[in-house]
Structure 1
Amino acid sequence: MLYSVLFQFVVLFSVFSSRVNAFYYYGNGGDRKCFHKELSKGTLLQGKYRVQPYDDRLDSYREANNQEFDVLIDIDETFDDNHVVMHQKGSPNGEFAFNALQSGEHRICIQPQATRWLSKGKTKVDVEFDVGLDTSLDSRQKSTVESLQNKINILSEKVKEIRREQQLVREREYKFRNASEAVNSHAVWWTIIQVIVLGVVCAWQMRHLRTFFVKQKVL
C-alpha cells in the first residue's frame, strides 16, 4: 500500500513538475493586469507575451511594432510585503524568466505602455506561463540550443561551400585576366611591328622614286 501511494506521488510530481498555461485577455491602453502564482524556492518561471492593438480600419487586432508599445513586467513577493523581485521593460512581443528565491505566492503584473495616440485603444494580450524546475526547463532549452546549433552547422557548411565556389571563380578570373593581358600584349607588339614595317616600306619607296626621278632627269 505504501509503495502504491509513493508511486502515485512520483507520477503526479513528474506530471505537474512543469506546467504550461497559455491564455489571453483584453484591455484598454495601459491597463495593468496581475496574476498570482504559488512558486516554491528554486522554481523557474518563464513567460511569453504578445500585445496586439485594435485597428479600426481592419476591424481586428494586428501585430504591434516597437515604436507603438513598451511592456512592463513586474514580479512581487506578496508574502513579503509585496517586495519587488523583478522589473523588466520589453518590446510588444517578448519573454521573461524568473527564478524564485523564496517559496510563496508571487504576483506577476503585465502593463502595456502605448504611445499617446494609442493610450486609450483596445488591446489584446496573449500570455503564456511555463512553470517548472530548473532542470526540466533547462533540458528543453538544451534541446532547443542543440537544434539551433545543428542549423548553425548547416549554415556554416553552406558558407564554406559558397567560399569554395568564390575561390574557384577568383581563380578562373585570374587565369582569364592573365590570358587577356597576354593577348593584349601580343596585339600591341604586333601593331608596333606593323608600324615599323610600314615605315621601312615607305622609306624604301621614297628612295626608289627619288632614284627613278633622277634617272629620268626630272630632278
Structure 2
Amino acid sequence: MRLPSTILIISCWLATFTLGHNVLLPAYGRRCFFENLNKGDEFSVSFQFGDRDPQSSTQLNGDFVIFAPGRSAALKSIVDQSHGEVTISAPSGGKFEYCFINENSGVQTKDVTFNIHGTVYVDLDDPNNETLDGSVRKLSKLIKEVQDEQSYIVIRERTHRNTAESTNDRVKWWSLFQVAVVVANSLFQIYYLKRFFEVTSYV
C-alpha cells in the first residue's frame, strides 16, 4: 500500500512544475522569457520587483505582460505595480512569451524575483475532483504559493527597514541641527546682552 502512495505523490509532483528566478532588469528595457504550453495547460507567474542596492529605501514598480504565441495578442498585463500574480489557461498550444518591463525607469539596480507555477492539463485539475491524488496536487500547489509569498515578504521587509532607518537618520540629524541652532542663539544673546551692558556702563 505504501508503494502506490509513493508513486502517486511522485506523479503529482511531476505533473506540477515550479521554478523560481531572480533577474536584473536593464534600465529603460525589458527581460522576456517563454514557456511552451499545450492547449488547456494552466500557467501562473507570481513576481515581486526589488532593488539590489542594499541601502535602497524605495519600493520599485514595473510592468508585466503575457503574450499569445507569435505575440499575436497580450493575454494578461499588469502596469506600474510592485508585485502581482497572473494566471492563464492556454487557449492554444505554442510558445507563450512573458516580459518584465522597466522601460519607463532608468534605475540600474532594479530586479525582479518571480516564480513559475504550471499545471499540465489533466482531468485531475477539475476543482470538483475530490480524489486523493487531486487533493495532494492542490495541497502541494498551495504550499509552494505560501513559500513564494514568504520570499516576497523578505524583499518588502528589507525595503521597509531601509525606509525606517533612513527616516531615523533624518530625524536624528534634524534634532542635532535644532540643538545647534538653540545653542548658537543662546550664545549670541549672551554676547549681545554683555556688549549692551558694557556700552551702557561706559556712558
- Tell me the TM-score normalised to structure 2 length: 0.50
